[in-house]
Amino acid sequence: MPIGVGFGLLAALCWGLADFCARGASRSGGTFRTLLYIQVVACLALPAIGLPLGLIRFAGQPAGVLLAAVALNLVILAGAGLLYRAFAIGTLALTSPIAASYAALTALLALLLSGEHPDAAQLAGIVLTLGGVLLASSVPGHPASAPARTVRLGSLRLAPGLLEAFGAMLLFGVAYWALRYVVAILGGVTVAFLGKLGDLAVLSVIALIVPLVLRARGGKPSAPLRIPRPTPAFLAFVIPTALLDTTANVAYNLGIGAALTSLVSVLSSLFSPVTVLLAWIFLGERLSRWQWAGVVAIFAGVALVSM
Q: Which amino acid is at 13?
A: L
3-state secondary structure of 158: strand
Lowest mean pLDDT among 28-32, 227-231, 262-266, 282-286: 227-231
Is the per-residue pLDDT at 252 higher than 60? yes
Please report the pLDDT score of residue 285 as a whole number: 73
Phi then psi dihedrals of residue 187, to 5 deg: 95, 150
Is the per-residue pLDDT at 94 higher than 90? no
Report the 10 Å Cβ neighbour count for 186.
24
91-119 mean pLDDT: 83
Please report the pLDDT score of residue 32 as a whole number: 87
Q: What percent of the chain has pLDDT over 90?
A: 35
Q: What percent of the chain has pLDDT over 70?
A: 86
Report the 10 Å Cβ neighbour count for 122.
21
Lowest mean pLDDT among 9-23, 135-149, 287-301: 135-149
DSSP 222: P
269-293 mean pLDDT: 79
Domain count of the fold of the chain: 1
Q: What is the mean pLDDT of the chain?
A: 83
Length of the chain, in residues: 307
Q: Could you write out the DSSP letters of every residue in 21-66?
A: HHHHHHHHH-HHHHHHHHHHHHHHHHHHHHTTTT----TT--HHHH
61 to 49, 65, 69, 178: CA distances (angstroms): 21, 7, 12, 18
Q: Which domain holds residue 113?
A: 3-305
Please report the pLDDT score of residue 92 as a whole number: 79
Is the per-residue pLDDT at 225 higher than 60? no
Please indicate whether residue 243 or residue 229 has the higher confidence score (pLDDT): 243
- Chain-centroid distance of CA 92 in Å reads 13
Give this prediction's pTM: 0.81
Phi then psi dihedrals of residue 118, to 5 deg: -85, 155
Lowest mean pLDDT among 33-42, 97-106, 162-171, 182-191: 97-106
Is the per-residue pLDDT at 144 higher than 60? no
3-state secondary structure of 157: strand
Is the per-residue pLDDT at 263 higher than 70? yes
| pLDDT tier for residue 194 given thresholds of 50, 70 and 90 | very high
The whole-angstrom separation of Cα 3 and Cα 64 is 29
Please report the pLDDT score of residue 238 as a whole number: 94
Please report the pLDDT score of residue 224 as a whole number: 44
Is the per-residue pLDDT at 178 higher than 50? yes
DSSP 265: H
Is the per-residue pLDDT at 60 higher than 70? yes
24-29 mean pLDDT: 86
253-270 mean pLDDT: 87
**Where are the strands (E) in 121-197, listed by range?**
151-153, 156-158
The whole-angstrom separation of Cα 209 and Cα 226 is 12
Please report the pLDDT score of residue 87 as a whole number: 84
265-279 mean pLDDT: 81
